[in-house]
């Protein structure tokens, strides 16, 4: 029977200029961070820039917001190699993909469609931001680094770096899972909780 593997994924995407209309624009993956975990042990970490196919030249807005240069993506792996890497990481396991928000997997699947690459992976998908929202009863979805600060922790590395965000997602996942277990298994009731010991002593005094 295949072991469960949790695969924490974060992508950074291209962005158009606010003032310009890019005809047919769609976001493309330009950075990937992957953290693969089996039995609470990190089995593999992977980080790389990815060269965009359709719109290879990054907008100034994208470079400024993500602190990613044109040289970074020019030296990145191809989108085809990215898909192969994800398949390699997932091979031999029952995979649960965990992302913060639902955009990562949507963009991955759309990029596969645009590139004519079949998306054949059988995956369970978890949007941890929705799990977090339901667990804490929040009305609105919380940003990744705001969520980790609400736990009194700090994010790993720098926000909007794919591997750092994937690691931060993994840390929040562990914290939420610990809280779930705590709520599911309350402390066992002691005899002192059932009997007022002082009254019992007074009765026999």
The answer to whether the beta carbons of residues 5 and 37 sit under 8 Å apart is yes
Q: What are phi and psi of 120, to 5 degrees?
A: -105, 0
First to last CA, the chain: 63
Task: Give the DSSP letter string of 56-75.
Answer: -SPPHHHHHHHT--HHHHHT
Question: Pick from 87, 84, 111, 141: which is nearest to 29 by CA?
Answer: 111
The answer to whether the beta carbons of residues 50 and 77 sit under 8 Å apart is yes
- By three-state DSSP, how is residue 24 classified? coil
Residues 3 and 174: their CA atoms lie apart, in Å, by 18
Cβ count within 10 A of residue 33: 23
Catalytic machinery residues:
12, 160
Residues 110 and 129: their CA atoms lie apart, in Å, by 21
Alpha carbon 149 to its chain's center: 16
């Amino acid at each position: 029977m295949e072991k469960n593997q949790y695969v924490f994924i974060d992508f950074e995407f291209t962005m158009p200029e606010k003032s310009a209309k890019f005809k047919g624009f769609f976001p493309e993956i330009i950075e990937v961070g992957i953290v693969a975990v089996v039995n609470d042990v990190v089995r593999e970490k992977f980080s790389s820039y990815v060269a965009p196919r359709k719109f290879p030249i990054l907008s100034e807005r994208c470079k400024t917001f993500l602190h990613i240069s044109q040289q970074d993506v020019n030296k990145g792996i191809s989108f085809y190699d990215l898909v192969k890497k994800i398949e390699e990481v997932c091979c031999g396991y029952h995979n649960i993909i965990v992302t913060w928000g639902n955009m990562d997997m949507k963009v991955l699947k759309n990029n596969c469609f645009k590139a004519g690459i079949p998306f054949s992976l059988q995956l369970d998908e978890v949007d941890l931001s929705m799990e977090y929202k339901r667990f804490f009863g929040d009305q609105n979805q919380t940003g990744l680094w705001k969520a980790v600060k609400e736990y009194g922790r700090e994010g790993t590395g720098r926000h909007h770096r794919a591997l750092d965000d994937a690691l931060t997602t993994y840390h929040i996942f562990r914290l939420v899972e610990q809280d779930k277990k705590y709520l599911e298994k309350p402390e066992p009731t002691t005899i002192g909780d059932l009997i007022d010991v002082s009254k019992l002593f007074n009765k026999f005094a």
